Amino acid sequence: MISEITLGQYYPADSVVHKLDARLKIIFTLVYILLSFFSRNYYSIATLYFFVFIVTIFSKIPFKMYLKSIKMILFVILFTSIMNLFYGSGDEVFSFSVIKITQNGINNSIFVALRFVILVFSSSILTYVTTPSELTNGIESLLKPLSLFKINVSNFAMMVTIALRFVPTLLQETDKISKAQKARGAQIESSNLKKRCKALISILIPLFMSSFRKANDLAIAMECRCYNCDKKRSKMDPLKFKKTDLYASILSVVFILVFFIFNQLFKAVNF
């Protein structure tokens, strides 16, 4: 299960989406995630899903990679959706003792699930089609105005990128430690909660030790290469806004306008 998690990984491919400016990808990823929370009806959120579907096709990344991202938090999505079933007023659909499910509760549950999926898909697309260096340069460029307030933007951009790129590494390490402990007789999948907790400790302690060791090795490697965020550095591949980025921006803006039109034109769903 852990070995199938693809969060934070870069998937190399020769696609139009891969070649887009990293700043553009970061901005529109954040915009589409925010728009999913502003959607008031199924037509507007369907517009976002259609756009994401178009991007996944042009990214030339196997669809199963995106499904793996969803699989990672499928339990969270289902649990949150089920809990939201019991919140909301309106016409009663089902009731049993103190349990009451309303039409508004069903709408709320569906929208929560749809928003979760949009969030995961959008984040996955960003990390799949953007290299760590591009992501760092993009974040640094977008946050550059904050340097006027004496905020070290380079440090912040590097921390965010390293944290994101460490996710798949730590997950692989967790999988490796878990298999090693199983081979030693640890009852990780036992039905007994007490035994599972003890087995979990045998995984967490080596994982923390390994994480600190990797972080220390990375810090030493950066120091050996004289890395200094306070110094102004040149870029091997500086970000440039090209014609392709302009066309992608226009297309994205059109979809955003369609979203707002549908959001206002059709009746809002009650939650």
Looking at the DSSP bridge assignments, the partners of residue 100 are 95
28-70 per-position pLDDT tens digit: 999 988 998 888 888 999 999 999 899 999 998 888 888 877 7
3-class secondary structure, 99 = strand
* Residue 100 dihedral angles phi and psi, to the nearest 5°: -140, 125
Reported confidence tier of residue 78, pLDDT bands at 50, 70, 90: confident
3-class secondary structure, 49 = helix
User: Residue 259: its pLDDT value, please?
Assistant: 93
Residue ranges per structural domain of the chain:
1-148+240-271, 153-229
Q: What is the number of alpha carbons within 13 Å of residue 118 lying toward its C-beta?
A: 26
- Tokens 């949150």 belong to 80
Q: What is the mean pLDDT of residues 172-177?
A: 81
Reported confidence tier of residue 260, pLDDT bands at 50, 70, 90: very high
Reported confidence tier of residue 1, pLDDT bands at 50, 70, 90: very low
The H or E element that residue 162 is part of is helix 153-183
Q: Indicate whether 216 pLDDT > 80.
A: yes
Degrees (nearest 5) of the Cα angle 222, 225, 230?
A: 70
User: Residue 24: its pLDDT value, please?
Assistant: 92
Cβ burial 111-123 (10 Å sphere, 16+ → b, else e):
bbbbbbbbbbbbb
User: Residue 256: its pLDDT value, please?
Assistant: 92
Q: How far is the CA of 150 from the CAs of 143, 146, 263, in angstroms?
A: 12, 7, 40
pTM of the entire structure?
0.75
pLDDT, greater one: 177 or 246: 246
Report yes or no: 33 and 122 within 8 Å, Cβ to Cβ.
yes
